[in-house]
Chains A and B, each alone.
Chain A
Amino acid sequence: MYIVIIGAGRIGMGLARSQLATGQEVFLLDNDPARVEMLRTIFGSIARLGDGTNVTNLREAGVARAGLFIAATGNDAVNLASCQLARQVFNVPSTVAVVLDPENATLFESLGVDDVVSLTDLAMTRLASTVPAHPVVRLMPLAGRHREMVAIKIPAGAAVVNRMLSEIVLPYGSSVILIIGPTGQTEELRPETVLGAEDELIVVTPVEGTQALWETLTEMP
């Protein structure tokens, strides 16, 4: 798929890197000359200087043939305007906007942005997960809200503690995508990776499997 990303800060650049690694075709547009120069040394010609709210710049970025358009600048207003242009002028089938101000999240969805990622809400959710209780923290809806990304922290004494990933039977369709240890370090994901108390698992799961997933990971022996 051809993905155009507006704003190549930490988020835009990280996203570009991950999508390129999975074989997607990516284009980065950013309005900071120094940053674009740096990007070109890393990514080559797929990065270009330009304004995401300018139709000509968007056309030159090939937005007309993009399957996915992601606006990830640090400016909510720019992210909205560029997503609206991508949708209205170039008929991009799917647009995503990053927002800093949570009040813009629902507004942007009502204004036609397909998916809005609220950084502040994500941070709040993450912070909520640092409290001693072990609830399911719903990080993000996925696949038209049929699936979701959740975070579950494993309590001390749970049945899964000291077990290998390959030994744990998760609900059908669930997959662990990240394990974050109690001090914040990420664990390598291998079948023989051993789970520890207070490890936090980031899991993508069908929404109907979330409850069973939580039970599996927090159940006491």
Chain B
Amino acid sequence: MGSGRIGARVASSLATDGHDVSVIEPSRTQVMNLPRTLVDSGAIRLVVGDGSSAEAMLEAGIEDADVFLALSGDDALNGLAAQKAKTVFRTRRVVCRVKDEGLRELYTSLGITVTSPTALVADVILQTVPDIP
């Protein structure tokens, strides 16, 4: 769910690796981030709709999904979609992108795998300067 720069890139990689990928994107203009070739060839199934609605999730095939990734730029929307996937559709693996530290702790405590690009980037930057005097 979510095809901003991060979502689009993840979707493209997974589709190129041969996985069945559906993308739910709330905004029709955002879908431009997805490579046209992958969408046109059917390698990525695109569903434009409310990212946290059961209707959009079902259209995207959530009932058969092995993994649900909530990767929009909206923490609360990702949290709702992830909890819906986990609770309503019993998706086995659910990953939620979160920027806010407090929400990261909340969702982790609720048993959702959380990824925070901000924290990851900070870690990578710190690794490039290991020997700060």
Contact = CB atoms under 8 A, between A and B. Distances in A.
Interface of A: 53-56, 75-78, 80-81, 84-85, 88-89, 101, 103-104, 107, 110-111
B76 interface: yes
A66 to B, nearest CB: 16
Contacts, number: 56
Given A55-B101, A81-B106, 4 more contacts: A56-B102, A77-B79, A80-B83, A104-B80
Interface residues of B, number: 23
Contact of B87 (A54, A85, A101, A107): A107
Contact of A80 (B50, B79, B88, B102): B79
A69 to B, nearest CB: 14
A220 B80 CA distance: 50
B46 to A, nearest CB: 22
Interface string B48-81: 0010111000000000000000000011110111
B100 interface: yes
B29 interface: no
B84 interface: yes
A53 B103 contact: yes
Residue of A53, A81, A84 with highest tally of chain B CB at under 10 A: A81
B100 A77 contact: no
A53 B105 CA distance: 12
